[in-house]
Structure 1
Amino acid sequence: MNQNLPLVLGFSTTPLELVSFLLSLITVALNIRQIHWAWLFSILSSALYAMVFFDVRLYGDMGLQFIFVLVSVWGWSQWLLGTGDGGELAVTRLSSAERWWSAFLCLLMFATLYLFLKFCTDTDVPAADGLLTAGSLLGQALLSRKKIENWYVWIIVDVLYVALYLYKNLMLTAILYAVFVVMAIHGARVWRTTCKT
């Protein structure tokens, strides 16, 4: 263990990972409460986590963070502008057709990302990185439109991320994603009470 790294919860970490960790917790807590400032914290945490993931060669996750910044700007505008007729964007469910399209697009993104990561980068986990990047993009898009299914996507993705980050020795980030699983379960319960469909 590098003696120069600070210890958090008994694990070594970098100051960058620690700040990213804290901003990410704030982001999800605000998302659960449907407070639009969550998107600002999402932008900040994503930008910082891009640097963390670059250091450990998780290029899919690094690229995902840049996309998260863009999607967060869009999501923030969606939450602020609402329905376009002055109404607030309500929590709703995907239709059956939207579920199928979401699954298809996620699989297509996974296949594309996997091939890119396998043949164009030096990552040692192209399948995991590609799958979780595609799932995260889906979760973020659904969150931006206040679709309740975003929480179910995040539960699955976050459980798998815990394993990946343990493998990559990002212990604090693995703990963060374990906390995210619990927060996503809570988020689904809270959002179900206000779901309009």
Structure 2
Amino acid sequence: MNTPLLLLGILHTSPLEIASFVLAVTMVLLNIRQSPWAWLFSITSAALYAIVFYQAKIYGDMTLQFFFIAVSLWGWYQWLFGGNEHHGVVVTRLTRRGIVHTGAAWLITWLAVAVLLETLTDTDVPRIDAFLTAGSLVGQFLLSRKKLENWHLWIVIDLIYIGLYIHKDLYLTALLYAVFVVMAIVGLQAWKKSLAQTRTGQPSPQ
């Protein structure tokens, strides 16, 4: 299933990485449209990427996939039944306090994960792996609550991930994250429109 192959004569990859790639792109497209089905693709993609990252010895990212699965189940519920009237959450912005809490959560999680990776694993990229793992957890939480700022985080995180995956010879995944950057910019603009429509009382497109 995961035998290495040469894609388009350029990218060394595997069937497992290709399947994860397709599922992840579909997930983000559905996120942009605010479709609850995005979470199903998130769960499936995360399960496959856990295997890919284990084989690449990117253990922070591997562990992150299991958190993604758990958060995706919670996010699925939030998008369907969250909010004050239990009709699903809508796009909102973080308050100043929320921004401070987000930054603190990222910093604390980064330090904790870095210690664990340096102590318990043989990874050669513990600090950057921990930084991106922590940021991804925070970003996923914000996405679950439909906070507009989740897209800002993903743009920064995905740009750094490109370099990490090139370093690890995961070229298809590096390409995926380059696509993610573009999609995050599109998602940011789409959610800004949704937020404006919510504030004026117009229905948001699904």
Question: Fold match, TM over 0.5?
Answer: yes
| 1-structure distance, mates of 2:106, 2:136 | 9
Please report how far the alpha carbon of residue 82 of structure 1 lies from its aligned counterpart in structure 2 after TM superposition.
Answer: 2.9
The answer to which of 6-15 and 92-101 deviates more is 6-15
TM-score (norm 1): 0.95
Please report how far the alpha carbon of residue 4 of structure 1 lies from its aligned counterpart in structure 2 after TM superposition.
Answer: 5.5
Q: How many residues in Structure 1 have an aligned counterpart in Structure 2?
A: 195
Q: 1:170 matched to which residue of 2? A: 170
TM-score (norm 2): 0.91
Please report how far the alpha carbon of residue 9 of structure 1 lies from its aligned counterpart in structure 2 after TM superposition.
Answer: 7.0
Please report how far the alpha carbon of residue 8 of structure 1 lies from its aligned counterpart in structure 2 after TM superposition.
Answer: 4.6
AA paired with 2:168? K
Instruction: Return structure 1 stretches of 4+ with deviation > 4 angstroms.
Output: none
Q: 2:203 matched to which residue of 1? A: none
Does the aligned pair in 2 maintain the 1:76–1:144 contact within 8 Å? yes
Does the aligned pair in 2 maintain the 1:8–1:172 contact within 8 Å? no
Q: 1:49 to 1:8 in 2, by over 3 A?
A: farther
| 1-structure distance, mates of 2:155, 2:62 | 20
Q: 1:133 matched to which residue of 2? A: 133
Does the aligned pair in 2 maintain the 1:23–1:45 contact within 8 Å? yes
Please report how far the alpha carbon of residue 120 of structure 1 lies from its aligned counterpart in structure 2 after TM superposition.
Answer: 1.2
| 2-structure distance, mates of 1:157, 1:76 | 22
The within-5 A match list for 1:34-49 is: 34-49=34-49
Q: 2:80 matched to which residue of 1? A: 80
Q: 1:97 matched to which residue of 2? A: 97
Q: 1:27 matched to which residue of 2? A: 27
Cα root mean square deviation, aligned: 1.4
The answer to which of 83-92 and 116-125 deviates more is 83-92
Task: List alignment gaps of at least 5 residues for structure 1.
Answer: none
Q: Using the aligned pairs only, state the percent identity.
A: 51
Q: 1:4 to 1:108 in 2, by over 3 A?
A: closer
AA paired with 1:149? E
| 1-structure distance, mates of 2:4, 2:93 | 48
Task: List alignment gaps of at least 5 residues for structure 2.
Answer: 200-206
Please report how far the alpha carbon of residue 91 of structure 1 lies from its aligned counterpart in structure 2 after TM superposition.
Answer: 0.1
Please report how far the alpha carbon of residue 184 of structure 1 lies from its aligned counterpart in structure 2 after TM superposition.
Answer: 0.2
Q: 2:202 matched to which residue of 1? A: none
Does the aligned pair in 2 maintain the 1:154–1:184 contact within 8 Å? yes
Does the aligned pair in 1 maintain the 2:49–2:62 contact within 8 Å? yes
| 2-structure distance, mates of 1:185, 1:4 | 32
AA paired with 2:162? V
Q: 1:66 to 1:9 in 2, by over 3 A?
A: farther
| 2-structure distance, mates of 1:39, 1:9 | 33
Provide, for residues 26-72 of structure 1, a one-character-per-residue CA deviation record: whole Å limited to 9, x for no partner. 00000000000000000000000000000010000000000000000
Please report how far the alpha carbon of residue 10 of structure 1 lies from its aligned counterpart in structure 2 after TM superposition.
Answer: 2.5
AA paired with 1:125? V
Does the aligned pair in 2 maintain the 1:165–1:174 contact within 8 Å? yes
